[in-house]
Amino acid sequence: MQKNSAMHKHKKKLGQHFIHDKNLINKIIRYIAPMSSDEIIEIGPGDGALSYIISKDVKKLILIEKDTDLISELKNGFKNANNVVVKNEDILKIDLSKIVKSKIRIIGNLPYNISTEILFKLLEISNNVNDMYFMLQKEVVDRIFAKPNSKIYGRLSVMIQVYYNTKKLFDISPDVFVPKPKVF
């Protein structure tokens, strides 16, 4: 059973903003289109709004969550799911090469304050990544898609454009997040 995010004290320092709009969650899942052969890593699953649905359709789901307050709820919620591994880790400190042994998919609602660092960290395993789906701050998306000679074109633009084929799928209103972000 999923924990009610209203009961969880959101941690600003972890950039926590949860989504519980069922229509939006279903839209995201349609884009991800999980399949029974998939091995997926979810970065920052929070209280599992996406995780619980996706876990039913995939071979393996690895949840990487830094917030220790959410870990016990996630472990309890997935205690009977043999295909789900819950890790209480910091994505920026974990050795992904020890987790990723085959082609994987990566998803997540990345904390705005460290999303660029996470994207660079994921370059370490780019050869083992089939695809990635992230919710990102608009500013980060703009930088990813920036063209040479624009003011926002920089290291992030270059690295992501070199290693990945990128596509912006849709915008998300800040109103669907709990708590609502001040920056989006």
The string of pLDDT tens digits covering residues 84-128 is: 999 999 999 999 999 988 899 999 988 878 999 999 999 999 999
Is the distance from CB of 171 to CB of 135 less than 8 angstroms? no
Q: Looking at the structure, tell me whether residues 76 and 157 fall in a common domain.
A: no
pLDDT recorded at residue 175: 77
Give, rounded to a whole angstrom, the gap between the first and last alpha carbons of the chain.
29
Full DSSP string of 103-123: -EEEEEE--GGGHHHHHHHHG
Tell me, yes or no, whether 119 lies in a domain: yes
Tell me, yes or no, whether 154 lies in a domain: yes
pTM metric for this prediction: 0.87
Tell me, yes or no, whether 10 lies in a domain: no
Is the distance from CB of 89 to CB of 64 less than 8 angstroms? yes
Provide the domain limits for residue 91. 19-135
Q: Looking at the structure, tell me whether residues 143 and 62 fall in a common domain.
A: no
Rounded to an integer, the average pLDDT of 161-174 is 92
Is the distance from CB of 116 to CB of 156 less than 8 angstroms? yes
Place of tokens 């930088």: 143
Q: Looking at the structure, tell me whether residues 122 and 162 fall in a common domain.
A: no
Q: Looking at the structure, tell me whether residues 110 and 146 fall in a common domain.
A: no
How many structural domains is the chain composed of?
2
